[in-house]
Amino acid sequence: MRILPSLCAVALTCASLTASPETSQPYTLSVQWDNDLFAGTDEGYTNGARIALTRSLPEDSEQHNRLQQLLRRLTGSNAQGPFNALRFPEAEAFRFQYGIGLSQLMFTPRDAEALTPPRGERPYAAWSGLEFSLQVSGDHSASTATLSIGTTGRLSYGQDLQNWIHENVSGSPLFKGWDSQAPGELTLNLHLDHKRRIQQLDATADWPLQVDGFTEWGTALGNFRTDVYLGTHFRVGKNLPNSHLTPRVQLGSFTETLFNHQSELPSAFSLYGFFGVRGYGVLHDITLDGPLARSWSESVNSEPWQGEISFGLAARYDSLELSFSRTLRTDEFSGQDKRSSFGSILLRLKGHF
């Protein structure tokens, strides 16, 4: 467990290196926690945590470091990369945001006493790693490229964190089958994401309750997870902020300001509900199918088609925002006997440095 605070310090230090000493740029600090205890269970995707920092960058590409230059090419904002066919209009102003995050994901079966996962229950697995992202956004669309590097197995410290939570927070029994978890493997993943604002909803701007939303698609490529997805997300409420929540911990997706079209908010307070749906085509998931370079006797076959819905409430006052949400997922592997459900808490703070 001592490695986790150290990695947090490294993440924040690396993020600070992206700052320009000559200018003050907006930043967002986000802390997320997913846990199935919020849904009254203790199995499947049982815990996820992330601390992330995003910061606006100057539009001058000469001020971007090599990693930021690489990510910018992947977003397609300079007429290159996989998003080239969906480029921003030439007259549209760009905004660049760089992000760095530290995340951990944890998965367990339902039976805490079993030394190996019973049939139909999820095998033990955990992953911890760092994520580096660059988002390019305009009035109507936003593209994000994220590189994640991490590890499964004992060095992910999933068992250590779960034992600490069960002993000090929930009082739940300790799970005894962690020796059967997914073996350790260094993972490298590229995540690409594109969102488009649903402009027809602008007609609600003067209503007592406003509605907005976006459509999205993306892909993940790497030995942690390889998939494609389509989805949409809607919000309904009063004084909607120009930042959109990612309600659960999801690799390759930070909580960011997506679009430039919003004007200054008339009030420091916002209250709204949100709803999102996603469909996935999955080729590989290391927490189910196992590592590519090592055998794993407890592996199961991931379902090629998966889906999820998420919904929740959020409130904002000035620079502080808090949300609570629930996520329901379809079967993630063949023979699964109970679908995953979990709750999420997000705390976000905005400022300048």
CATH of residue 148: 2.40.128.140
- Contact 249/50 with Cβ under 8 angstroms? yes
Radius of gyration of the chain (CA): 20
Number of compact structural domains in the chain: 1
- Which of 32-41, 79-88, 110-119, 290-299 shows the lowest per-residue confidence on average (mean pLDDT)? 79-88
Predicted pLDDT at 252: 77
The pLDDT > 70 percentage for the chain reads 78
Structure-model confidence comparison of residues 236 and 258, the more confident one: 236
Which range of 11-20, 201-210, 215-224, 259-268 scores highest in mean pLDDT? It is 215-224
What mean pLDDT, rounded, does the chain reach? Answer: 83
Q: Is pLDDT of 347 > 70?
A: yes
Q: Is pLDDT of 286 > 60?
A: yes
Range of the domain at 330: 3-18+26-352
Predicted pLDDT at 24: 64
Q: Is pLDDT of 55 > 90?
A: no
Identify the bridge partners of residue 137 per DSSP, sorted by sequence position: 95, 142
Rounded Cα–Cα distance for residues 189 and 147 (Å) = 6
Average pLDDT over residues 271-286: 96
> The whole model's pTM is what?
0.85
Residue 217 pLDDT grade (very low, low, confident, very high; cuts 50, 70, 90): very high
Predicted pLDDT at 263: 55
Predicted pLDDT at 7: 42
Angle at 60 between CA 59 and CA 62, to 5 degrees: 140
Rounded Cα–Cα distance for residues 10 and 353 (Å) = 18
Angle at 139 between CA 56 and CA 205, to 5 degrees: 110
